[in-house]
Each structure stands twice: as C-alpha cells, then as structure tokens.
Structure 1
C-alpha cells in the first residue's frame, strides 16, 4: 500500500531524532531502557504469542518472558529480578549484546546478540520457569529486520522538541523494528516447535515516568496485511480507569511499507465488554475498537486467550497476542496484533 496523496502530512525524515545503528546500543545515562520483543509465531497449525523483555529501571533490572499456547489456552510467564552490571553494549564499534541472567546457573535469563555490522539482525535466546507450574520454556530465535524502523511519534522523542538539549535524562526515546523475520525454535518442557513469523521489537530509553508519577497506558500494535504497521495507545491516570463501551482520545504512529510515517492524534480507542479479572481484582480488556479517521481506519483488536497477564511484583500487567481486522482507507484488512495494558 502507498501513502496518502492528501490529508495528514508525513513526518519529514529530517525531524527524526533516532540515529541508527548507534541508538540500538545501550544508553548508559538513561534512567530506563529496554529491548522488548513481542509477537505471533506459528508452527504448522499451532499459534504462539511471546514476549521477551530485558529492562533496566536503574539501579534495578528485570527479565519479563512469556509464552501463550493458543491451541491449549495456556499461558506461561515469569518476571524475574536481575543484577544489571555491564548488561548491554554501549559502544557502537563493537558487536551488540543485551544479557541479563546466567544460563548456566539460573532458570530465568535473556541473551540477545548481533554483529556490529548489522545490530538489527539479532539472535535472541531466553528462558523462563513458569510462575504457576514450574514448566521450563526455552526460546532460540533469529530475528532479522527487513525494512525501515518504525519511529514512534514520527520523531522518536517525547516531547518534541526535546528538553535539555535532547538529554536521555530529560526525554523519552522510542523506536520499533516491526518487520522482524523470525525463525527458530521454542521448547515447552521437552516438546520442541520449529517456528516462523513476523515479530516486533520496541527499544525505549530515557525518562519514563517515576515511582511517584508512573506512566499508565493501553496500547495496541498492529501488523496489517496491506503492509501498514500501527502503534496505537493512550495514557491515563490511575484514578480514572477506562470503561467498556466508552471512547477515549488516543494517538497512533502509522508506517507504510516504504517507511513513510505519520503521527496522528485524533484517534479513538473504545474498550469492549469482554474482560479478564486477575486474582487481585485488576480488570483487563480483551477487545478494543480503534478508529483513525484521517486514514479511514476502523479496526477491531481481539484477544484469543483470556489470561495473558504477568505478575510484576505486586500488581499485574497484561501482555498478549491478538488479531486485527477491519478497514483501512476503505479496504478490508487483517493481521496480527498485540494487546498491552498497564493500568
């Protein structure tokens, strides 16, 4: 699909503040940073959702890894505290890596590596021991970006223009590899599946809220079969949770296959009536309606497995595969999606 000839104006490449490949590397002064892989993997007629997230909220760090088995309606997950140390490469002249945990000593770990010549061509290995059952889940994946990165907000920086000369201590930076060609294997205990797919990685770093003023959000990522990829979300305060059937203002970064990118803020997000309630009473929405008038887009995001939540220390967060279907620019579309909620 090609970009629109009229309507919203794409963000000029000259306004992009992300510099690749150097910004794929660790930013040592950033108070928060993570490399966050999500998406849908298939093995024949079996469908799996996964997340592999290595994150630092200085001085702490953690791994967040999950697998959803759609056919069996099973969800395996673990959030594990880690000791960061020299956990990620900061020097763009060297091979890239992100490593938390020790595969020889621990059940829960993530190791990501890539050659210096192309740090978007990653080998990603991870393991979790499921919180509920003790089942060991192992990932061994190759994830290679085929196409331009998606620059969130069009510029990659919030706010724009940036504060304090662009310092990572005063601004939040965010881009995604949304066209990762995935291959490899996942193991559920002793059962091994050879998998393929097109997956998504978020790299976000800088100033991202605080313990006193945390960022709370509802997000849907979409990879549509017309080649358009969408990162759509809204943020809110904890004392004003969304209600089913009510529409809320939201925004979207929209990327066409040639890399042309738009950032639009006149979108709406409407939670559906299907919900899942965590053991502590937190309520998560399983369906969303996303409307983007500037692009004639009306897309339903639906979650095929109810329980896809992590227990992150004292509260739950929702991270799960989903499907997308509807219309974009007057044409029927469908695709894979991701349902993320941090209320």
Structure 2
C-alpha cells in the first residue's frame, strides 16, 4: 500500500510539473510582449528594457522556467494585464463562488447517481421515469439546459432567482468564502436559504451529466455483483435485496464508479465555466471570460494551472480511495 501511495504522489508531481512547463512554453511563444502589456504602448524603450531585466526575461530559458515553477509553487502566478492585480489574488476572490457551485453540483450528482443506480438495479417503482428524465437532461448541451431551466423555473414558475449568487444585503465575507458555510458559522440562516435558492438550478444543470455517467457505471457493477456467490449466500440467510446491495454489493461495486467520479469532476469544472456565463455566476468562469478577449495570458495560465492541479489532485485522491475500498488495487498497482 505504501508503494502504491508513493507512486501516485510521485506521478501527481510529475504531471503538475509537466503542466507548468506547457504553460511556460505557451507564454513564451505568445506574440504578446508581457512587459509592454504591463507598462502600456507609450512606455519608453529604456523603461521596457529595465522592466525586462527586473522580471528576469533576459535570463536563459531554463533559469526563467525554474523561477516560473518555484513562483507557481509559492502561489505567484504573475500579474493580470487587465486588473493589474496578482493573479493569485484575483483567483482568491473568484474561486470560492466556483468551488461552492462545483461542490454542490458534485454532491447532487453523486446523490442522483446512487438513486439512479439503486432504483434501476432493484427495479423500484418510478425508476424508469427518473432514468428517462436524467438521460434526456444529460443529452442536452449544458448551456441549453441552463437556458431552458431559467425559462421554466424562473420565468414561468418563479421558483428560483434569475442570476447571481446572493440576494441578501451584506452577506458574510469569511472565513471560507462559501456563503452556505459562512452563513451557518455566523448564524445567518437568511443567507444560507438565499444562497441555496441561487445554487439549486445551476448546480442541478451541471450535475445531470455526471449523475448519468456515474449512475450507469455503478448500476452495471451492482447488477454484476448481485449475481455473485456472496450475494446468493446473503439471500439464503433471508436478507432483503436492499440490505444485500447496501451492505455487501456496494463496496465491491464502487471502484469503477469512483474512477468515473474522478473523471467527471474534471469535466464538471469545464462545465461550471459555461454555466457561470448562463447564470451570471461571479466565479472563475466570469474571470476567464473577461480575460480571454484582451489576451490576459497570466490570468488564463493561472486559471488553467489551478484547474489542472485540482483535476490531478482529485484523481490521485480517487485512486487512493479506490485502493482503500479494494486493497487488491494497491497490490496489483491499479
């Protein structure tokens, strides 16, 4: 098990270094001069040359990459050309909104996936309707699903707000940046209720696709293991199908579903960026959408590095969870 953990951690570091190297190369082949972008077109040649020297842009490429890598490790992702603020500071402002939406969306996705898998595997009444609704939603483009959700649940029914993250004046600003958590910590239940009201529709939109993908994999594993020898032995002892599935079958079936969950988390973050545009959500999606048109490369690279690091770390954590659920994975090396 220790060897398995060490190998996964080492692989994670290698992938993160490779991702940083790609961002460094893209920055250097970009036609935009970072110094002129910072100082403006009216800057004198002497000022530009002095700034290039101060930033270390005249040093050898390997030295520049080392500075870039060590800076990224320490949280220094450069300065945004658009906001003139450190990219890390900008991400600190926008990330909590995206993180809250993604976490809520993933929680919904897992809950819907488990419900879909159990209801269809055990042939519960109404499972076919749930399956049809989820499959229909997953087949639609995410932006279209979001627009349809706004038309139905905001314009026609008036159940949810149209856009934004909060409608309450003076919401708490810390310590986590997650409004639902901070509202609970500060005893502001009006903030919690309003934040959930704003969260439910965009989170549901990003949850439908992952729910179907995870649910299908989990259902297939459940059906396969429900015919195993240990399941038949449990039936012979008089256990109900629900008890057999929950107590015995689920642990042996969860490995493939965990792998799919890790993959879907990465895809979910890309979906969150789209959904934020539809719902006017003040997160990373808004930040990068404003940065791309003005070629704000430090901001674009910072978002890419952050999302890439999250994806790699989450998948490494999923691998470790799989090994914990099924020790055979650690023995065979996955």
After TM superposition, the score normalised by the length of structure 1 is 0.25
Higher relative strand content: 1
1 or 2 for the larger relative contact order (CA 8 Å, sep ≥6)? 2
After TM superposition, the score normalised by the length of structure 2 is 0.25
Higher relative helix content: 2
